[in-house]
Amino acid sequence: MGLLNLLLKDPLTFVLLAIPLMYSVVLHELAHGWVAWRMGDPTAKLQGRLSLNPIRHLDPVGTIMLFIFGFGWARPVPVNFNNIRDTKKGLILVSSAGIITNMILAFLAFFLYRLLSPAPGTATATLLYYLAQINIILAAFNLIPIPPLDGSKILMGFLPERWQYALSRIEPYGFFLIIGLLFLGVLNPLIAFFRGIILMIIRILLP
């Protein structure tokens, strides 16, 4: 995403971008917790995770990854799906909430770019460009159906219980699997596919 280049070439814009970028992952997790709470699970609320305070959400490694590679993560919001009456519906809606939040943030960035029409190369243009692109990448990345990413839980919501269990057994190794597949470039076509779908949706909503 060129964020390191941005830091070297325009450190002021990088600093201005840091806060909205940080809140891109914070709001992602907050959305999970809020939807879970609305569906009957108070776990995140009881643990103080329904908060805009970034300290309650940020993961040091995930934050560094976000600023270096353009995608990262916050500490997952705890969700107890046993507290949600319709577990399958809960899996789909709670897991989709973060992705939809990132898509909304990308849409708002594109909308503001169109509304303000900033001159190319200005701080405003650069900030809105990176904010849109990184939120699209965050949404696309999280759609990958490998545990613990949101896409796997959305998929579980459509699978019979035996397949849910089989998929959940991958979760302890999921992080290493994802890192390995990213390193090998195996996930790049899938991320590009999801990114294309997200851009198509935004173009429909913002013709």
Positions annotated as catalytic residues are: 29
Q: Are 94 and 28 in contact (CB under 8 A)?
A: no
Give the residue among 68, 25, 87, 77 at the shortest CA–CA distance from 48.
Answer: 77
102 burial via Cβ count (<10 Å: 0-12, 13-18, 19+)? buried
Helix axes 188-205, 87-116, angle to 10 degrees: 60
80: left (phi over 0), alpha (psi -120 to 50) or beta: beta
User: Half-sphere exposure of residue 17, counting CA atoms within 13 Å on the CB side?
Assistant: 28
Return the SS3 of 2: coil
Q: Evaluate whether 36 touches 79 at the Cβ level (below 8 Å).
A: yes
